[in-house]
């Protein structure tokens, strides 16, 4: 168990050392390659939906497909074993090695073998195990765990690799990449030709033909699976699909998401073994591993983890992982998907790195199977809290609405209090609010109080809107909501302000499922009558919109009103751009500068940059989108917390983006997220505005 305080210390040490060398640039290359491949595919979302359907129906037919695969694989001459857990799997493979009188095992990359600590088990029995994947060999020589699902040595520099191979060769190897590659090729040829056993994992297993699919970019998988007399394959039972066609679709999904390829360089479909050089005694052994997968199948929340195809895309977009690396943001399975996998396979105590997740939700957006990784992580946090309690700062952040109301009621005294050094020191000690983070000004005159002064009667409305405010537009920035309502009414839209809570997203972020469900249920109850009367729910803050559209239907699966609310929830700028497009409003700029647009994480699965960019260009503004594909690091209230799992990590995540804005030739930043605005204004030292601060809407003349 890594306690929260121990995790804090590990992260603090990492931050002192600086980000993991080379990791961020490698992640960027992965994201850029993925984007390019998707652009070339045409209808990627249809492809993605089909890939998800394949995994859904395959996992639902677990037992049937295991039986079919076993029967057909054995017809082709393979021996198939079923291992209930990792210990049993290791025993089976050790027994196979003993029967073969094996001494040397040539091993292709297999994260499933890492899961069960196979190398340790084989070496304890006197077997020499050599990893033949370049990245895995580097990690083996370094005596480390992989730090990435696809690129295990992503954190190693050329100098690191050169030193490791020089030590192995017992001679100086040049840092020239060609000499390093020549050395490893020569070294591995000996292994391929003399190994008694070739071991590999499998990316997919095909029930209808009893075959396994192995995808590699180096070709070593084909060498380990074909040259040694005995071949051993370890496959998690969640990887079995029914048909060859399904397997090839998943192979494509894996390649696009992992490396930006249309297909991995070497895709091998292996079933049984053919004689080689007259040797008809060649063997194929396939070990099917459960190790907690059947239990995950029975749990609604964690079932989706079984859909994972190990592409690593979620890691390439994860901001905290980009700073800490997979040895901190991980156990054996690193990265976002590693959190639910670790909790279920290796135990909840090993999954405390879940606290590093900032709940940006981007892991779901890049996942080729659309796995709801963020909500599984939230559930892991919930389970950790049930066992160990919530960290102090997390508990405070989940009381954000109560504190906001109080600060608003006491304004301007509360604003004075929140600026004094003594009070900030006290708050840091008592509730974990970082003493140096800038805080917004609270308004006594909230938008709820202002609404009746802004509201006008629209006799024959062309549309009806119910406004959803969330925290900032009510307590801190009521002028944003006021600008929105004024513009809507100018276009002949009737606006109402229903009684409501804020979205409750911080409770999801920190794992308070019961509290989040209460927020969801109450808001659904308050807003549903408006939906039933034909109102659209117009939401200002991206995170609030995301919560209404994507979180509430998940939390309240049995309440059809939550789904109806989601379908009828619109973004504020989406509505305004629609009205401008229809000629019902015109838009102009209050002041002109060179603007850099920041797209908040929760806006990406909504409209992305589409509406804000369209409105700014319609207003004649010069605007450019500046991003790196990852979260800015604020993570909602995450960046308000004291310490390395909070403010310190948040600033480290944001440093790259701040630099992009500073070097991008922009004078001002525009973003729809109020919390991102706090982070960007401080980090980039540039003025930050909401689009409704700079856009003015008028009736057409």
Write out pLDDT tens, residues 609-636: 999 999 999 999 999 999 999 999 999 9
Report the pLDDT averaged over residues 232-237.
98
* 88-111: average pLDDT: 96
Residues 6+ positions from 581 with CB-CB distance below 8 Å? none
Was domain 58-293 assigned CATH 3.60.15.10? no
Arithmetic mean of pLDDT over the chain: 94
- For residues 374-387, average pLDDT: 97
Backbone angles phi, psi at 368, to 5 degrees: -70, -10
Please report the pLDDT score of residue 448 as a whole number: 97
CA 422/CA 112 separation, integer angstroms: 53
527-545: average pLDDT: 97
| Candidate CATH numbers 3.30.750, 3.60.21, 1.10.150, 1.20.1050; the one for domain 447-578 | 1.20.1050
pLDDT of 2 reads 62
Give the residue extent of every domain in the chain: 58-293, 447-578, 585-698
The stretch 679-688 carries a mean pLDDT of: 95
Least confident span in 7-11, 32-36, 51-55:
32-36
Give the pLDDT confidence score for residue 20 in this predicted structure: 87
- Give yes or no for residue 389 having a pLDDT over 80: yes
pLDDT surpassing 50 at residue 247: yes
With beta carbons less than 8 A apart as the criterion, state whether 203 and 149 touch. no
Pick from 201, 73, 72, 76: nearest CA to 132: 201
* Third-level CATH fold of 585-698: Rossmann fold (3.40.50)
Cβ(185)–Cβ(53) under 8 Å? no
**pLDDT by residue (tens digit) across 556-574?**
999 999 999 999 999 999 9
- Per-residue pLDDT band at 156 (split at 50, 70, 90): confident
Whole-number pLDDT of residue 201: 95
In percent, the amount of the chain with pLDDT more than 90 equals 88
Q: For residue range 427-463, what is the model confidence (pLDDT) as tens digits?
A: 999 999 999 999 999 999 999 999 999 999 998 999 9
CB 322 within 8 A of CB 358: no
Q: What is the pLDDT of residues 4-25, one digit of tens each?
A: 999 999 999 999 998 888 899 8
Cβ partners under 8 Å of residue 574, min gap 6 = 606, 607, 611
pLDDT over threshold 60, residue 509: yes
pLDDT at position 60 over 90 = yes
Query: Cis peptide before 412, with omega less than 30 degrees from 0?
Result: yes
Torsion of CA 342, 346, 350, 354, to 10 degrees: 20
For the cut 80, the answer to whether the pLDDT of residue 279 exceeds it is no
- The alpha carbon torsion through 26, 31, 32, 36 (nearest 10 deg) reads 140
Is residue 625 a contact partner of residue 612, using CB atoms and an 8 Å limit? no
Which pLDDT value is given to residue 1? 46
Q: Do domains 58-293 and 585-698 have the same CATH topology?
A: yes
Calculate the dihedral angle through the C-alpha atoms of 131, 135, 141, 145, rounding to the nearest 10 degrees: -100
Helix (H) or strand (E) holding 96: helix 86-99
């Amino acid at each position: 168990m890594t306690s929260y305080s121990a995790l804090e210390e590990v992260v603090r040490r990492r931050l002192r050392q600086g980000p993991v060398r080379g990791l961020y640039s490698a992640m960027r290359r992965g994201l850029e390659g993925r984007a390019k491949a998707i652009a070339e595919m045409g209808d990627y979302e249809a492809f993605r939906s089909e890939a998800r359907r394949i995994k859904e129906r395959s996992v639902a037919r677990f037992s049937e497909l295991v039986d079919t695969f076993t029967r057909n694989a054995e017809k082709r001459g393979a021996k198939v074993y079923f291992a209930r857990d990792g210990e049993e799997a290791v025993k089976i493979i050790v027994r196979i090695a003993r029967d073969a009188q094996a001494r040397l095992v040539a091993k292709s990359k297999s994260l499933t073998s890492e899961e069960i600590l196979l190398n340790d088990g084989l070496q304890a029995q006197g077997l020499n195990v050599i990893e033949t994947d370049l990245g895995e060999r580097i990690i083996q020589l370094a005596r480390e765990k992989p730090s990435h699902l696809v690129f295990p040595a992503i954190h190693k520099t050329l100098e690191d690799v050169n030193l490791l191979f020089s030590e192995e060769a017992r001679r100086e190897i040049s840092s020239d990449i060609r000499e390093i590659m020549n050395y490893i090729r020569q070294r591995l040829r000996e292994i391929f030709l003399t190994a008694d056993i070739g071991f590999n994992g499998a990316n997919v297993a095909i029930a209808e033909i009893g075959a396994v699919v192995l995808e590699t970019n180096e070709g070593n998988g084909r060498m380990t699976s074909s040259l040694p007399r005995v071949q051993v394959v370890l496959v998690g039972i969640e990887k079995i699909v029914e048909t060859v066609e399904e397997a090839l679709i998943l192979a494509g999904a894996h390649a696009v998401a992992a490396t930006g390829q249309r297909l991995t360089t070497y895709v091998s479909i292996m079933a049984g073994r053919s004689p080689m050089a007259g040797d008809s005694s060649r063997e194929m052994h396939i070990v099917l591993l459960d190790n907690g997968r059947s239990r995950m199948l029975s749990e609604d929340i964690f079932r989706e983890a079984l859909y994972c195809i190990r592409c690593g895309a979620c890691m390439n977009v994860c901001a905290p992982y980009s700073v800490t690396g997979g040895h901190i943001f991980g156990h054996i399975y690193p990265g976002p998907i590693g959190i639910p996998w670790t909790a279920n396979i290796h135990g909840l105590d090993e999954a405390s790195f879940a606290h590093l997740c900032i709940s940006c939700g981007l892991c779901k957006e890049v996942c080729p199977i659309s796995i709801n990784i963020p909500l599984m992580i939230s559930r892991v946090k919930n389970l950790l809290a049930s066992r160990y309690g919530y960290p102090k700062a997390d508990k405070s952040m989940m009381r954000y609405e109560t504190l906001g109301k109080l600060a608003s009621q006491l304004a301007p005294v509360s604003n004075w209090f929140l600026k004094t050094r003594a009070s900030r020191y006290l708050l840091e000690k008592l509730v974990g609010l970082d003493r140096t983070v800038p805080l917004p000004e609270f308004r006594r005159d909230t938008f709820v109080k202002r609404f009746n002064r802004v509201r006008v009667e629209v006799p024959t409305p062309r549309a009806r809107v119910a406004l959803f405010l969330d925290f900032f537009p009510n307590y801190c920035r009521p002028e944003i909501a006021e600008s929105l309502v004024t513009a809507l009414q100018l276009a002949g839209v009737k606006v109402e302000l229903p009684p409501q809570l804020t979205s409750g997203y911080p409770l999801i972020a920190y794992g308070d499922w019961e509290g989040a469900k209460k927020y969801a249920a109450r808001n659904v109850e308050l807003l549903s009558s408006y939906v039933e009367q034909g109102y659209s729910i117009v939401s200002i803050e991206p995170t609030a919109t995301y919560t209404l559209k994507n979180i509430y239907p998940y939390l309240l699966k049995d309440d059809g009103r939550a789904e109806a609310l989601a379908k009828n929830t619109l973004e504020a700028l989406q509505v305004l751009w629609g009205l401008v497009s229809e000629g019902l409003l015109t838009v102009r700029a209050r002041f002109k500068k060179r603007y850099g647009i920041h797209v908040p994480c929760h806006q990406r699965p909504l409209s992305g940059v589409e509406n804000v960019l369209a409105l700014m260009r319609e207003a004649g503004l010069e605007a450019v989108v500046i991003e790196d594909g990852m979260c800015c690091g604020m993570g909602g209230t995450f960046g308000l917390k004291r310490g390395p799992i909070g403010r310190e990590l948040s600033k480290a995540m944001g440093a790259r983006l701040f630099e992009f804005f500073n070097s991008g030739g922009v004078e001002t930043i525009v973003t729809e997220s109020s919390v991102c605005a706090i982070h960007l204004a401080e980090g980039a030292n540039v003025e930050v505005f909401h689009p409704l601060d700079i856009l003015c809407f008028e009736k057409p003349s």
